[in-house]
Structure 1
Amino acid sequence: MIHFPLEFKKKLSTSKNDTLIIGAGLAGLTAARVLRSAGRKVRILEASDAPGGRVRTDNVNGFLLDRGFQVLLTAYPEARRFLDYKALDLHSFSPGSIILNNSGIDEIGDPLREASSLIRTLRSPVGSLNDKFRLLSLRLKLASTSIEEIFSKQETTTLQYLRNAGFGEKIISDFFAPFMSGIYLEQKLDTSARMFEFVFKMFSEADTAIPANGMGMISSQLASGLSAEELILNERVLNIDGKEVLTASGKIYEADSILIATTADCIPVPFQRRHVEKKSVTCMYFSTDKAPYHKALIALNANPERLVNNIAVMSNVSANYAPEGKSLVSVSITGKEQFIKPEDLELKVKEELKFWYPECVNWVHLKTYTIPYALPDNSHVINDILPSSLRINGSCFICGDHLLNGSINAAMKSGRLAAESILSL
């Protein structure tokens, strides 16, 4: 434990709160909401210039750019508990996917949610007829399986799970690999099969959506009602000492309890972690006068040597994402090549995509986001946690999706559970 010298402390301003929350991501904002609703005085210290953590949206020349391609699965229990979907003005993706392969472009749908896609899906060369019936059977099985049952199953990798379920290598490589890689941010499907079943269940049971004005509206909604005294921006925490924290601005804040709500790689001294497993992603945004396609679908790259994992025309889902007369294309890259120079990456992306969309050479690059910590490692995941695991010591608690699984649902749930632990004192 690093203690602040007494003579140093006298020079710093102090402020007393019931609970001090470090980090204004979804976990911290959810915890603040639970604590405030119970009448507790809270203060959030956020290192960046706005709340939201990894769920933020920037306005660039009238285009709404989410910081990394993200969606909200509206079946998430915690999202349903805390978010006002109507106020978010959610716009949904269509069920199904566009498949980009070496022979051209195919499309598969979800006949259970869109009956008109049945014939098209059955005729698609993406997997055998038996694979498609297995996919339907899996959907029906997971519909009757509770989330608790899913997370109590013995763990294996997603790849092994799919093979054990009898799926052929073609549907794994052409559909599951690019589809789940866009969610897992890893291409080998090493992620826990518990995560696969949970996510697949969530996709099947309700909509895949984005708020009309960007994913950042989720964070803004959770932060609504917080005063400037309760949410302090550009205030990076350096050190925690008992019931006090020292910030980079030279202030000390004091509270009865402290809740760490940062990503796993940003936990302050003395509780920082030496080695943090994480998943990264690069997301490139392009403006175009003509959308490469006009459906509200995600296009998956089935090429095993792919650079681009998936693309989405965000303005097809919500017109607010682009100025009138323009379309916004999101391109996600999950492999190691995401870290090459931005100007070289743009050329490589366009070179790959022009096989399917020749007009991509005229797309105008807007911005590239390389996100080193986009997700925690999901090789082992859980959906619940003991209160004792959320408490570091007598006055310090922790929350975040890294404690459960990498999802919006887990971030919000961990924040709620940590707040409930603090309230139980």
Structure 2
Amino acid sequence: MKKDADVIIIGAGLAGLTAAKVLKAAGKSVLVIEASDAVGGRVRTDEVDGFLLDRGFQVFLTAYPEAKRFLDYEALDLCRFDPGAMILARKGISRIGDPMRKPGTLLSTLFSSAATFTDKLRMLRLKLKLSRKTIDAIFAEPEITTLAYLKKEGFSETIMSRFFKPFMTGIFLEDQLSTSSRMFEFVFKMFSEGDAAIPAKGMGAIPLQLAKCLSADEILFNQRVWAMEDNNVTTTKGAIFQGDFILIATDRLCLPMPLQQSVNAYHSVTNIYFTADKKPFELPLITLNSLPGKLVNNIAVMNNVSSRYSSNGDALISLSLIGDHSLTGEKELCASVIDELKYWYPEAINWKHLKTYHIPYALPNDDHVLNEPVYKNMRLNANCFVCGDYLMNGSINAAMKSGRLAAEAVINTMG
């Protein structure tokens, strides 16, 4: 049988695309086989009725080392969120900012009820501590839960409930803060040293930029690989492809036979989009719901950050609900969301539902995380490697890094 490429890559998410970029730069031929109709995996943007909808609210942290290595930030036309957050509480809405980076937020931060004055000093101390700590040093630390870590740092219950819990829940997609303290330190360092941003034309611009290294005959869409044997992969359409090496770049739920495994621990999210004539707020900030037992964890008006998200200027409101809400009827879910938010935004009763995304596998479980994949977990046999954020930690940085390291391992093996 004729060889189709030096390396067959299964999956065109960020890990697979980064691997393809590294392999091609080393002069290796690749064939990327993707089950869906476009690149991106969990990082995709749809256009619906003139609005850009990211599949799940995501932000891009500009301090990510792997992103700096592979992406052209200028071409992505990054639009930045303001540092800090708006906090929804029973007494109303307050703002917590980062006065070091945005001096104009000094007063609102000093007077915010979301944190005590001592908390604000502790936040500054934590920021300075992590600025002096390398990423390698962070991932070498013993692991405790994020909740235990924040308590150890001495933060009050006020800032825990009003800021850290909703903020980190929105990032980790779990509300117990059982995620590793290493992950907290890494993410907090990334937020402190760079910006939270989105590309002007949506998060999907990131994989599209990575995929520019591929020609049309180097990527196949709508072909799901269901089985592998030796150097061959077989798709559900019956096509067979052969390469010297196979690199699996799917998430853990989509591994081909005979590698399929039951995965119990991962995090889900539901993302609901509404439109409105009037924006609920004008600032390019994430809004956090600090109430216990809440349904909506965080809110963003996407066209406050990038005007390109809304072609007609109407507000595009993105809401994140942690967990799997797919069994609740859409109308019932939307009604519950509006009922919750009208306490702060009475005009919410006039918001128009646009689309709901249920994302069962949004992030791997991050109770234990690494900054380098274990080699034996990355190399399955003589000619088969795997990559993906689940081998390290749930982040864009880890997805790209795992793709790079797997590609480098293949190149070293090929000689």
Identify the TM-score tier after normalising by the shorter chain: over 0.9
Listed as ranges, the matches of 1:324-363 within 5 Å are 324-335=312-323, 337=325, 339-363=327-351
1:324 to partner: Cα distance: 2.4
Q: How many residues align?
A: 413
Which of 61, 68, 71 is equivalent to 2:56? 68
Determine the structure 1 residue equivalent to 2:66: 78
What TM-score do the two structures reach when normalised by structure 1?
A: 0.96
The alpha-carbon deviation at position 338 of structure 1 amounts to 5.9
Q: Secondary structure at the match of 1:112?
A: coil
Distance in 2 separating the partners of 1:204 and 1:273: 37
Q: For the Cα contact (< 8 Å) 1:238–1:269, is it kept in 2?
A: yes
Query: How far 1:277 sits from its partner (Å)?
Result: 1.6
1:262-341 matched pairs, under 5 angstroms: 262-335=250-323, 337=325, 339-341=327-329
The residue type paired with residue 209 of structure 1 is: A
* Residue 30, structure 1, aligned to residue 18, structure 2: yes
Aligned to 1:206: 194
Match of 1:404 among 363, 384, 392: 392
Aligned residue among 110, 123, 146 for 1:122: 110
Deviation at 1:15, TM superposition (A): 4.9
The residue type paired with residue 372 of structure 1 is P
Deviation at 1:154, TM superposition (A): 0.4
Give the counterpart of 1:215 among 203, 214, 223: 203
Q: Structure 2 vs 1, CA of residues 195 and 339 (structure 1 numbering), >3 Å: closer, same or farther?
A: farther
Contact 1:58 1:65 in 2 (8 A): yes
Give how far 1:384 is off: 1.0
Amino acid at match of 1:319: S
CA deviation vs aligned residue, 1:56-95 (integer Å, no higher than 9, x gap): 0000011000000001000000000000000000000001
- Aligned residue among 150, 153, 160 for 2:141: 153
Aligned mates of 1:128, 1:353 — CA distance in 2:
26
Is 1:135 matched with 2:123? yes
SS at match of 1:392: strand
Q: How many angstroms does 1:238 deviate by?
A: 0.8
Partner of 1:166: 154
**Distance apart, 1:325 and its partner CA:** 2.9
Tell me how far 1:386 sits from its aligned partner: 4.0
Structure 1 stretches of 5 or more lacking a match?
1-12
User: Can you list the C-alpha shifts for 1:194-248, whole angstroms capped at 9, x where unaligned?
Assistant: 1000000000001110000000000100001312211100000010101001101
One-letter amino acid of the counterpart of residue 389, structure 1: N
Aligned to 2:360: 372
State how far apart, in whole Å, the 2-side matches of 1:335 and 1:418 are.
31
CA distance in 2: counterparts of 1:369 and 1:128, whole angstroms: 37
Identity %, equivalent residues: 56
Match for residue 33 of structure 2 among 45, 50, 53? 45
Looking at structure 2, the residues matched to 127 and 169 of structure 1 have their Cα atoms a distance apart, in angstroms, of 9
Q: Contact 2:325/2:358 (CA < 8 Å) preserved in 1?
A: no
1:132–1:338 Cα change, 3 Å: farther
Residues 336 and 370 (structure 1), Cα distance of their counterparts in 2 relative to 1, 3 Å cut = closer
Alignment-mate amino acid for residue 293 of structure 1:
F
Q: In the superposition, relative to structure 1, how do residues 338 and 356 fare at CA in structure 2: closer, same or farther (>3 Å)?
A: farther
Between stretches 319-328 and 393-402, larger displacement belongs to 319-328
User: Matched residue of 1:295: which SS?
Assistant: coil
| Contact 2:61-2:194 within 8 A present in 1 as well | yes
What root-mean-square deviation, in Å, do the aligned CA atoms of Structure 1 and Structure 2 show?
1.1
Q: Does 1:186 align with 2:169?
A: no
List per-residue Cα deviations over 1:241-292 (Å, max 9, x = no partner): 0100110111100000000000011111111112342100000001111100
Maintained 8 Å contact 1:66/1:215: yes
Q: Which runs of 5+ in 2 are unaligned?
A: none
Say whether the 8 Å CA contact 1:281–1:338 is kept in structure 2: no
Deviations 1:364-415 (A, max 9, x none): 1110000000000000000012433311001100000000000000000000
Give runs of ≥4 in structure 1 deviating > 6 Å: none
**2:381 is the alignment partner of 1:419:** no
